[in-house]
Amino acid sequence: MILSIESSCDDSAIAITEIATKKLLFHKKISQELEHSVYGGVVPELAARLHAEALPRILEECAPYFQDLKAVAVTSSPGLAVTLIEGVTMAKAIAVALKIPLIGVNHLIGHIYSLFIEKEVAFPLTVLLVSGGHTQVMEVKNLHDIKTVAKSMDDSFGESFDKVAKMMDLGYPGGPLIQELAKGAQRKRYNFTIPLLHSSKFAFSYSGLKNAVRLAVAESDTEDYKDIAASFEHIATTHLTQKLKKYFKEVPPQTFAIVGGASANLYLREQIEELLKPYKAKLLLSELHYCSDNAAMIGRVAVAMYEERMFSTLESLKITPRSNI
Ligand code: KG4
Ligand code: ZN
């Protein structure tokens, strides 16, 4: 079995995965959403303190599995430096105490493998990762061959939902709150400009849209917020589908996946389904509870890395807050 730890942002999670069967034997996550909600976003120092309380409590529940552990895995990149270090320090302590190998996992690869929890992997894939920290399209051939073909030049898709929710004083995380507010509201009432519409660049940008929404919020009454939310969600999503549509003309999709916390967005799922229809491409999605950050996805990557003996040492396992993918 492999014990895996996730602490890259505001979720403390630990999983136990059986290597031979890929079965998830244990998974527990303690989210900090309530604690950060009053600030309208994640406060790194507070997140680190909460991980220091939550992770040992979850680890205690894993004690019955300790004697069967063959490796310990941990998210080491990308993420908040002060929270990554919490998980990495715990993983190193476990590796020393139980004399087992360490595996450093990239969180973005974790999101890709959230598609294959308790399953065999199926590549190649074109993947859209939409989370709080990232918005990127990747061509994934296998664990070692992941090519990013487009990414955001500024804010991420999920982050823009968080910021719009903050402008409206809705709380954090903003994605589910905006989605709920936008239900049944007018998507075409506010004519926000689609980002990078006339640019040939395959890239994303959300800062301009965020500022346009800020102006609309400042000039409106609270009863208009639902239409602002719906119009924002429509344009934020259209930006993704418009760029993907152009890309698909050059590189027709065969199997397409949406992963990351914001892949839970229903309007996005609908629009991508529509976009894939002419190509008869298959759409893969993670189970809803594995879209947002979790340790089960880190455990699933770790099994693949274990099979290839991709181990780190105490010295070589370092945190890297920025992604190299
Ligand atoms: O993957 P994740 O849990 O954390 C990161 O790796 O960043 O993603 C969290 C992000 C947050 O920005 C949250 O607002 C967004 O995913 N999110 C959504 C929805 N559910 C979560 N965004 C849009 N619509 C949703 N339904
Ligand atoms: Zn994530």
* 155-181 mean pLDDT: 96
Ligand 1 atom closest to Cα of residue 79: 6
For atom 7 of ligand 1, which residue has the closest CA?
A: 132
Q: Which amino acid is at 214?
A: R
Ligand at shortest distance from the CA of 264: 1
CA of 174 to the centre of ligand 1 (A): 8
Query: Where do the domains of the chain lie?
Result: 2-117+290-307, 125-285
CATH class of 2-117+290-307: alpha beta
Dihedral-angle region of residue 247 (phi above 0 means left; psi in -120 to 50 means alpha; beta otherwise): alpha
Q: How confident is the model at residue 134 (pLDDT cuts 50, 70, 90)?
A: very high
For atom 8 of ligand 1, which residue has the closest CA?
A: 261
Give the pLDDT confidence score for residue 193 in this predicted structure.
98
Share of the chain above pLDDT 90, in %: 98
Q: What is the pLDDT of residues 218-247, one digit of tens each?
A: 999 999 999 999 999 999 999 999 999 999
pLDDT at 40 over 90: no
Q: How confident is the model at residue 16 (pLDDT cuts 50, 70, 90)?
A: very high
The end-to-end CA distance of the chain, in Å, is 27
Query: What is the pairing mode between strands 135-142 and 71-77?
Result: unpaired
* Residue 72 and residue 95 in contact, taking contact as beta carbons nearer than 8 Å: yes
Give the pLDDT confidence score for residue 194 in this predicted structure.
98
- For ligand 1, residues with CB inside 6 Å are 9, 131-133, 158-159, 161-162, 173-176, 179, 260-262, 264-265, 292-293
CA of 186 to the centre of ligand 2 (A): 30
**Cβ count within 10 A of residue 264:** 20
Which residue carries 């079965």 as its tokens?
23
pTM of the model: 0.97
* Residue 202 and residue 148 in contact, taking contact as beta carbons nearer than 8 Å: no
Is it true that 2-117+290-307 and 125-285 share their CATH fold? Answer: yes
Average pLDDT of the chain to the nearest whole number? 97
Q: How confident is the model at residue 41 (pLDDT cuts 50, 70, 90)?
A: confident
Residue 51 CB partners (closer than 8 Å, separation 6+): 7, 12, 83, 86, 87
* 11-30 mean pLDDT: 98
For the domain 125-285, what is the CATH code? 3.30.420.40
| 6-to-126, 147, 201, 325 alpha-carbon distances in Å | 25, 24, 34, 18
Share of the chain above pLDDT 70, in %: 100
Give the pLDDT confidence score for residue 296 in this predicted structure.
98
Q: Which two three-digit tokens encode residue 235?
A: 């344009």
pLDDT at 324 over 90: no
CA of 222 to the centre of ligand 2 (A): 31
Could you give the strand order of the β-sheet that contains 145-151, starting from the edge strand earlier in sequence?
145-151, 135-142, 125-130, 255-259, 282-285
Ligand at shortest distance from the CA of 159: 1
Beta bridge partners of residue 24, listed in sequence order: 17
Q: What is the pLDDT of residues 176-208, one digit of tens each?
A: 999 999 999 999 999 999 999 999 999 999 999
Q: Which two three-digit tokens encode residue 188?
A: 């075409």
* 160-176 mean pLDDT: 96
* 296-309 mean pLDDT: 98
CA of 7 to the centre of ligand 2 (A): 10
Query: What is the pairing mode between strands 71-77 and 2-6?
Result: parallel
Q: What is the pLDDT of residues 65-118, one digit of tens each?
A: 999 999 999 999 999 999 999 999 999 999 999 999 999 999 999 999 999 999
Q: Which two three-digit tokens encode residue 108?
A: 């973005």
CA of 49 to the centre of ligand 2 (A): 19
pLDDT at 14 over 90: yes
* Residue 307 and residue 138 in contact, taking contact as beta carbons nearer than 8 Å: no
